[in-house]
Structure 1
Amino acid sequence: MDRYNKITKKFPREIVLLKAYPCKWGRCRFCDYIEDNSMHEQEIFRVNQEVLSHVTGEFGVLEVIDSASCFELPKSSLDLIKEVIDKKDIKKLFLESHWIYRHRLQEMREFFEIPILFKIGVETFDNDFRERILNKNANFQTPQQVAKYFDSPCIMVGMQGQTKEMIRKDIAFARRYFSHATINVYTNNTTCIKRDENLIKWFQEEFKSLDQNPYIEVLWQNTDFGVGD
């Protein structure tokens, strides 16, 4: 499992994949990332201490992800991140949170005392597909509702059951309402949600210009940020 990398394109930053407690929701039908969770704080601390030791502060920007939300990181790991921020002169932090924590984001801003770009895995702005098929437990109705709390949506494309029109709308909303977005091309895993190869081929042709968009990062493979397995 690769847990540290440097991202040099578009938004240059260091990125770390940390361990956390289990996702509070943990029932998304497309997600098996929760297998990286742990209930043992000592194990979490040991792994996260080693991973964070690689941070150099080269870009002044750090992205911290885990297989849940930033709110599932133990306090001991949050303290480690804060130490790195102070020692390495980190000026900006990327964090990710589930919709259920939308009213608590200010807690992280006050704790870390630097600007935070908050990501959220919306997967799609189509409420029916997101809730009925993906079981996301993020029952917002409009992108404006998301933009009220979060800076950057993570959108998934290429799942069976999605449509071209759905993807077009998702990308249009990301461009219109947010300063940053991540587009993830779906990779098959152990869940029941499967790739639609024809839809992905269409997306690659229709939206290849996104690679030149300075505000949107496209992950053609789920490990394109250099972390994960």
Structure 2
Amino acid sequence: MERYSVINKKYPREIVLLKSTPCKWGKCTFCDYILDNTLDIDEINRTNQVILGNITGQYGTLEVINSGNVFELPPVTLQAIKEVVHKLNIRQLFLEAHWIYRKKLEDMRQFFGIDIMFKTGLETFDTGFRENILHKGFHYSHIDELKSYFQSVCLMVGIQGQTKEMINNDIQLALKHFKHFTVNVYTENSTSIKPDYQLIKWFQENYRWLLDKKPQCEVLWLNTDFGVG
């Protein structure tokens, strides 16, 4: 398990994958990342302290991820992140949170006292597929409500049941409404949700231009492309 990496393209930053308590939502049908969670708070804090020791502050930007949401990191770990941020003069954080935490995002901004780009794992703007198949729990009324809380969305492509039309619409909406978004090509895991390899091939052939022509978009062809995982 790699837990520290440096991203050099588009949005240069350091990234750490921390341990945490279980995801409070925990209903996403495609997710088996919960295997990295634990209820042993001492183990979480010990592990995370070692990981945070790798950070240099070289780009002034840090992304913190865990197998859930930043709000599931224990207070001791959050305080350790804050100390690293201020010690190394880090000016921006990338943090991830589920829709259920939308009313708490401002609290986290106040805690760290620096600019935060909040990412959220929306996966798709298609409500039916997102809620009936993926069970994401994103019941927003309009895209303006979604982007009033989150500055970045994570999309997923290449799942059985998805269509080219869904993906085309997702990319266009993300380009129009968000200053940053990530596209994750689905990787088969231990869940019952399976990849559609023909759809993945189509996406790779038709959307490779996102890499060079759209600075606000980062594409993960593999789920470890950020160097952690």
Q: Partner of 1:226: helix, strand, or coil?
A: coil
1:98-113 → structure 2 map (5 Å cutoff): 98-113=98-113
Quote the residue 1:158 is aligned against: 158
Structure 2 regions of 5+ residues with no counterpart?
A: none
Say whether residues 1:43 and 2:43 are aligned partners.
yes
Quote the residue 2:132 is aligned against: 132
Q: Partner of 2:149: helix, strand, or coil?
A: coil
State the TM-score, normalizing by the size of structure 1: 0.98
Q: Partner of 2:176: helix, strand, or coil?
A: helix
Quote the residue 2:178 is aligned against: 178
C-alpha change, 1:4 and 1:138, in structure 2 (3 Å) is: same
Task: Write out per-residue CA displacement over residues 70-122 of structure 1, whole angstroms, 9 at most, x where no aligned residue.
Answer: 00010000000001001111000000000000111001100000000000000
Measure, in 2, the Cα distance between the counterparts of 1:125 and 1:62. 27
Structure 2 letter corresponding to 1:199: L
State the TM-score, normalizing by the size of structure 2: 0.98
Quote the residue 1:59 is aligned against: 59
Task: Write out per-residue CA displacement over residues 41-63 of structure 1, whole angstroms, 9 at most, x where no aligned residue.
Answer: 10000110000000000000000
Contact 1:153/1:174, CA 8 A, preserved across alignment: yes
Structure 1 letter corresponding to 2:143: P
1:48-87 → structure 2 map (5 Å cutoff): 48-87=48-87
Measure, in 2, the Cα distance between the counterparts of 1:143 and 1:167. 16
Q: Partner of 1:83: helix, strand, or coil?
A: helix
Measure, in 1, the Cα distance between the counterparts of 2:202 and 2:95. 31
Quote the residue 1:34 is aligned against: 34
Measure, in 2, the Cα distance between the counterparts of 1:216 and 1:104. 26
Quote the residue 1:215 is aligned against: 216
Q: How many residues align?
A: 228
Structure 2 letter corresponding to 1:225: F
Quote the residue 2:25 is aligned against: 25
Among all aligned residue pairs of Structure 1 and Structure 2, give the percentage whose two residues are the same amino acid. 57
Structure 1 regions of 5+ residues with no counterpart?
A: none
Measure, in 1, the Cα distance between the counterparts of 2:142 and 2:66. 26
Displacement of 1:27: 1.4
Let me know the Cα RMSD of the aligned residues. Answer: 0.7
Structure 1 letter corresponding to 2:189: N
Contact 1:127/1:140, CA 8 A, preserved across alignment: no
Deviating 4+ runs (over 4 angstroms): none
Q: Partner of 2:65: helix, strand, or coil?
A: strand
Quote the residue 1:117 is aligned against: 117
Measure, in 1, the Cα distance between the counterparts of 2:16 and 2:146. 25
Measure, in 2, the Cα distance between the counterparts of 1:188 and 1:170. 21
Structure 2 letter corresponding to 1:203: F
Displacement of 1:141: 4.4
Task: Write out per-residue CA displacement over residues 12-41 of structure 1, whole angstroms, 9 at most, x where no aligned residue.
Answer: 000000011100011110000011011011
